[in-house]
Amino acid sequence: MKDPVEDLLRELAPQVLGALARRFGDFCAAEDATQEALLAAATHWDGIPDNPRGWLIQTGSRKLLDQLRADQARRRREVLAVEPPPVVYERDDTLTVLFLCCHPALTEASAIALTLRAVGGLSTGEIARAFLVPEATMGQRISRAKQKVRSLDAPFRMPERPEWASRLRSVLHVLYLIFNEGYAGGGGELVRVDLSAEAIRLARMLRALLPDDGEVAGLLALMLLTDARRPARVDAAGDLVPLAEQDRRRWLRPLIVEGTAVLDAAFRAGAVGPFQLQAAIAALHDRAASTQDTDWPQILALYGLLERMTANPVVALNRAVAAAMVDGPAEGLRLLAALDGRLPGSHRLDAVRGHLYELAGDAAAAAGHYRAAASATASIPERRYLTMRAARLNAGGNVVPGS
């Protein structure tokens, strides 16, 4: 996003929505009015007005009042004779909006869509293209999410303090999913909004609002330290390049430096959470000049902590890979045996088994697992990568570097 007006509008979007929702008490109507105000600004502004936030709130208020009057006229009631009061809003309601959009009662897909629209200031069309679904489908999803929020009948205010920890976890999880969608979805589609960049922008915003929270910082650090590898993750032909084979000179040093600094500050803040641990693992990879150079014992120990903290089978999968690097592929394969049936429908278990059999020098077993993984993934780049891997082994080919 190079357009300063667009940047400003997207930053102000949740603040305007918060102000309108607080004033009118109707989050859904406020959300529609905010989008209309943003659109009006994008079409009418010739440069940036003196008080852009006030302009947007004023415009949104008028749209909301028009809507209310129309509704009431339809119901043959008296027209509400209210002029918008002068706008003086000091409060930044962005955090309140974020908590509401990531409400645990919403499905993940709904929370993601609503967050991108209400907090990210993206249009329904942009979000639809980012997730490669028709605009009507995404419109329905957002509309259902708003109905759900309405049915919660939650007053527009910050959750009570005791609820904060669990509500903040939902927010962090949603931002993490947005980042992953952008990262795993890969590039290539010029029309796609860069979801990873958007997730990083929202995480930065959240950190500015909650500077003392270690997990908020941990999530931002994890995103930065992961995104730093993006230029090396796909080769010129568009094929995925695994970490071990990436050209590390192409990693983005400024992101690594920033991510490491954010992480160090988070660790100094005290209590360690899952995002900080994942960021610490990412930092160890980013710091190493090669796979051989990587501090695998430290990574293995961090995955051990993370597994105890989260009981997530994907973490166990990664721990098995780290164990293979420390104690040999047989140990990794032994750990994987405990995961059978815990990752239904996922191609990852087969992909990792293929990798570890390849490290162990068993080309036939490796190729079989790569083939099974290729058949189970719905991602074209991954299918291509896994099929290639199997084909190289079947052709009597190489064993991965670093073994």
**What percent helix, strand, coil does the chain show, rounded to 5?**
70, 0, 30
Which of 149, 390 has the CB closer to another protein? 390
Structure tokens of 77?
Answer: 């009631």
Q: Which stretch binds another protein (CB under 8 A): 15-23, 117-125, 268-276, 386-394?
A: 386-394
Query: Shortest gap between Cβ of 369 and another protein (angstroms)?
Result: 11
Number of residues lying near another protein (CB under 8 A): 23
Which of 234, 288 has the CB closer to another protein? 234
The torsion defined by the Cα of 79, 85, 90 and 92, in degrees rounded to 10, comes to 20
**Residue entry with tokens 């099974």:** 372
Q: How many CB atoms lie within 10 A of CB 131?
A: 18
3-state secondary structure 53-70: HHHHHHHHHHHHHHHHHH
DSSP-derived secondary structure for 225-277: HHHTTHHHHB-TTS-B--GGGS-GGGS-HHHHHHHHHHHHHHHHTS---HHHH
Query: Shortest gap between Cβ of 136 and another protein (angstroms)?
Result: 13
Distance CA 403, CA 400 (A): 6
CA-wise closest residue to 35 among 19, 56, 66: 56
Which of 53, 383 has the CB closer to another protein? 383
Q: Does 155 bind another protein (CB under 8 A)?
A: no
Query: Shortest gap between Cβ of 342 and another protein (angstroms)?
Result: 17
Among 388, 399, 400, 402, binds another protein (CB under 8 A): 388
Q: Does 378 bind another protein (CB under 8 A)?
A: yes
Distance CA 394, CA 32 (A): 56
What burial class does residue 221 get, using C-beta atoms within 10 Å of its C-beta: 0-12 exposed, 13-18 middle, 19+ buried?
Answer: buried
For residues 339 to 358, the per-residue mask of contacts with another protein, x marking binding by CB under 8 A and - elsewhere, is ------x-------------
The answer to whether residues 68 and 58 touch, using CB atoms and an 8 Å cutoff, is: no
Among 10, 352, 371, 382, binds another protein (CB under 8 A): 371
Q: Does 401 bind another protein (CB under 8 A)?
A: no
Q: Does 380 bind another protein (CB under 8 A)?
A: yes
What burial class does residue 82 get, using C-beta atoms within 10 Å of its C-beta: 0-12 exposed, 13-18 middle, 19+ buried?
Answer: exposed
Query: Shortest gap between Cβ of 194 and another protein (angstroms)?
Result: 19
Among 236, 237, 289, 364, binds another protein (CB under 8 A): 237
Among 5, 244, 343, 391, binds another protein (CB under 8 A): 391
Q: Which stretch binds another protein (CB under 8 A): 63-71, 86-94, 166-174, 370-378?
A: 370-378
The footprint of another protein on residues 120-139 (CB under 8 A) is: none
For residues 303 to 342, the per-residue mask of contacts with another protein, x marking binding by CB under 8 A and - elsewhere, is ----------------------------------------
Binding site for another protein (CB under 8 A): 237-239, 345, 367, 370-371, 374-378, 380, 383-384, 387-388, 390-392, 394-395, 397
